[in-house]
Structure 1
């Protein structure tokens, strides 16, 4: 960090001056951490390509190579239908530093031992007991009849042939946040290919230039919205095969859209049998082995970001999704939870000391800085967004300035503001000065993603803006032939005004959650015991927006017009204006 670059940060915000020693210390730790990776055999390049080595791999000669890090256990073996699940048949060889390796030659006829579709697991032996686990590096899993996920060997004869080059993002970011599974008007789990064929043309026509995909990394519990990850390198098999996801991203690139992955490195599912938890048959492994390794509110496991193998796993994970699937960047989930030992729970963040004191988790700060540095090193121009509500200074500034290198943070206070207003204020009591102040209250020269409502508000138990505004009258009075009731007239008008105000003043990028562009009339509820495993609310009714006889079309057209205006004038990317 050059003094002149640090001075830029201080000149922008003089209140940071007392924090210079801590900013310099963080940067020093980052440089030391990066150098440690560079000093490893093969350097940081080979380190972040570890996904090509770890896990189970079929080689060109049909031999199979397996490599795992699993310290403190007696042994590992590969088991499955191919050897009648015999833990003594294909044992790994112990290496140094807790690593295990297995090499399997081709069959006598030259074919590989593992065939496409075969089910297999890793038998981990500890204290003379056998535990059947999934490789942390597995790239494809499917749900068994027992509802437990298991590894399924997936290796197409021909690798996917990419057809479209990556589009160039012009700086203005209009994000369509989407969940593949709920993207059909029908009550079912939709597929990657159906999304590509049916939704991408719609998203393009609507004026968006970026798709943000949630719930792609495999998660055993569907209702978690994709935030309780069980297999970090496996695209969810609910929506199709890995090549189907590549087809989706390829089609998006062909339409000129970039695609961001909702990546969850803030925590992991506590599932043991089909998750990363207790991979080493104890509380450690990739996680902290004490209370620091558990998130009480999320009921999940927390990574030890100082562990070299955890860094290998997570940093390789980012490079894997960009190199193998050509994602153009990431929305990092749960960043506030990562940044503080308290996970941000109960903190007021009323002083700069709250950001640079002992509550800040330096290990997480350094990991996020490394992640952003390496994302840009190998894929320059990638976009990274932090889900972060504390306002950590310099989080979205260049690393050389003393920042963490994110491009944007989500303006998480804005949806909360609108819901609070709709819940507690009459229309005539709206204080426009307060609204504008909240919309523009962000750190100078740190870009925000503005959004008027979040995906959480679409879930059962909460309400979207349209539902708050119009509620049950949406079921009876949305026909153009029906009486134009005051509730519907007000609802459509305020839906448009709220979104336009937020779009215009709230940030340097815009985000819309699938269906909100036309005021989707129902909540989102995943199939579960409480609703008799119903898919009725697990959908998006695009047919409503397309029906010329329904008033949903007016909100849909207004959303499209906002995007067209931004495309013409590029006001999002024009810099700050008072």
Structure 2
């Protein structure tokens, strides 16, 4: 027999309620939702929910035949928070809140703070205990928390778990199966981080997780919350950091979700002009409500606290900053000052980042921000938004526009590959070749490249080389590492059958070697965000579509010289300026035959001579490969031992 106990007088406490309504309850997941409790004479779950405009609230589920009113919650104050302890409820029980609206009707809502949910298409929340998992990553976390993220390599593998790989019968892999197969794969191929497209519970597969109903629940498509803990734990075991894609801008309209939660606009704005996001068919969050602020900031800290993730890529930041960005409304929105900025959203972003970094100083907070809004990755105290990284959408747009051109036309658009260096250090940038570039008819990276088959692969090799040597951290969408030919098909697995073709096997070998070279070459990341880490040798050779530059590390003599050729022409005895005298080794050449190239290599050490060139005191003559990148470093015994060329 299910019975209602008296609401504990100590919980929710007055201070918790005060902080919640002030917008500073940053661990709200400890108060709200369904929490297991046990004492000498009782065992069950305590339920707490915010529904300020409800006439009544009760918990319904299989345990009471979904009968509204049978297990009521008590309103603990005028604040609109309701709570009750229900005895004898077990873990895994289905439940929802039955909410009486101001009009007197009863609506059923999933728990906004639920830790687990039924697998689609079912929509109930599930009682769940998050304790009991034995984490094995304490040593790894101590190491992580000592590292300087800005001066370390970062190569992110962006992944959609539902379409990375599937079972033979088409079913999805579980979190545990993905942990045991996906994580060793990306570690072997030289990635340092994995970014998961949203894994918070969502009803529709084809939203890719960007329209969420359960912000506190890892989707049950792939298993249980503890299965996801195992996934993260396995990532850390393999020295892989975990970034979650997160959408605090908007949420889906499904009736069991957050929309009109108590029969009135609650999580969304009350002003109907501000409620809808027509382009996505969603509701905006209302950043003027302190309780919504508490909900979202608590959610960010929840994933870091409970699931040990390293941080977030925050989706659609531009649409949060600007009222009319990606807004298809037939009228223009204005703030109270007559401007286009969403003042409340900007204040929220600053508060979010301040709250996250106060608890997790080494967190990764990456903004997907596509405008020229200033100081996105600068600290709040310096007038910034407080993120520590921003996606460099301008670079991606320019370089892909350039690479789509026939090589004979590139000389007329040379600025597309050099312009980025005018602003490369204005923010802490991530260079993202993300899923956004590979869907809706945009074609895969390989299929964007011009020319015959050989030229397409060669173009992609030089693109990846420039990507890896350009200042900024890196992100690559899954499948791009082996040159997937088709654009991303979100309902199917990647085209693993391409490994039957030598061209794709050779390309994976190239991208893996390039990734590992990047990780092991400190001058390619040590000063990613500082102007001293980059120097042009020659950015002006538009006629031959060749650029050359130096990437520098912190220590004297820690540098490499990079030459990129964006045409099929081969140049022998090509002179470039060099910063110092000595013998230089070609450490990597994308035209090596083992990578699918034509074999135009610099097989022997090349000596620089004291002949000034390109504003450098020294120079040397090299072979420049067709549609290729070549990287030189000063000869040492150690480097001589690792240089490998296929003759």
Instruction: Give the TM-score, by structure 1 length.
Output: 0.80
When residues 140 and 494 of structure 1 are mapped into structure 2, their CA distance, relative to the original with a 3 A threshold, is same
For residues 481-517 of structure 1, give each alpha carbon's deviation from its aligned partner in whole angstroms, at most 9, with x where no partner exists: xxxxx72110110011112112222x42001111101
Larger relative helix fraction: 1
Q: How does 1:217-366 map to 2 (within 5 A)?
A: 217-273=200-256, 275-343=257-325, 358-366=339-347
Asked whether 1:163 is paired with 2:125, we answer no
Match of 1:26 in 2: none
Contact 1:249 1:326 (8 Å CA) reproduced: yes
1:90 alignment partner, SS class:
coil
When residues 222 and 291 of structure 1 are mapped into structure 2, their CA distance, relative to the original with a 3 A threshold, is same
Asked whether 1:408 is paired with 2:392, we answer no
> Which among 93, 118, 126 is matched to residue 152 of structure 1?
126
Match of 2:476 in 1: 512
Q: Report the CA distance between 1:40 and its aligned residue.
A: 4.4
Match of 1:120 in 2: 95
Match of 1:554 in 2: 506
Q: How does 1:37-186 map to 2 (within 5 A)?
A: 40=18, 47-61=25-39, 62-106=43-87, 112-113=88-89, 115-126=90-101, 127-143=103-119, 147-155=121-129, 159-165=132-138, 166=141, 167-168=143-144, 169=147, 170=149, 171-184=152-165, 186=167
Q: Distance in 1 between matches of 2:455 and 2:109?
A: 55
Larger relative strand fraction: 2
Match of 1:467 in 2: 447
Contact 1:469 1:487 (8 Å CA) reproduced: no
Asked whether 1:196 is paired with 2:179, we answer yes
Structure 1 unmatched runs, 5+: 1-36, 107-111, 347-353, 471-485, 528-537
Match of 2:526 in 1: 573
Match of 1:448 in 2: 429
> Which among 474, 481, 485 is matched to residue 521 of structure 1?
485
Contact 1:263 1:330 (8 Å CA) reproduced: yes
Q: How does 1:491-506 map to 2 (within 5 A)?
A: 491-505=456-470
Q: Report the CA distance between 1:228 and its aligned residue.
A: 0.8
Structure 2 unmatched runs, 5+: 1-14, 329-334, 536-647
Contact 1:344 1:390 (8 Å CA) reproduced: no
Asked whether 1:212 is paired with 2:187, we answer no
For residues 295-345 of structure 1, give each alpha carbon's deviation from its aligned partner in whole angstroms, at most 9, with x where no partner exists: 121221111112111011001001111111011111100000000111266
When residues 429 and 285 of structure 1 are mapped into structure 2, their CA distance, relative to the original with a 3 A threshold, is closer
When residues 46 and 386 of structure 1 are mapped into structure 2, their CA distance, relative to the original with a 3 A threshold, is closer
Instruction: Give the TM-score, by structure 2 length.
Output: 0.72
Once superposed, what is the RMSD of the aligned Cα atoms? 2.6
Contact 1:182 1:190 (8 Å CA) reproduced: no
Contact 1:77 1:90 (8 Å CA) reproduced: yes
Match of 1:535 in 2: none
2:250 alignment partner, SS class:
coil
Match of 1:490 in 2: 455
Larger radius of gyration: 2
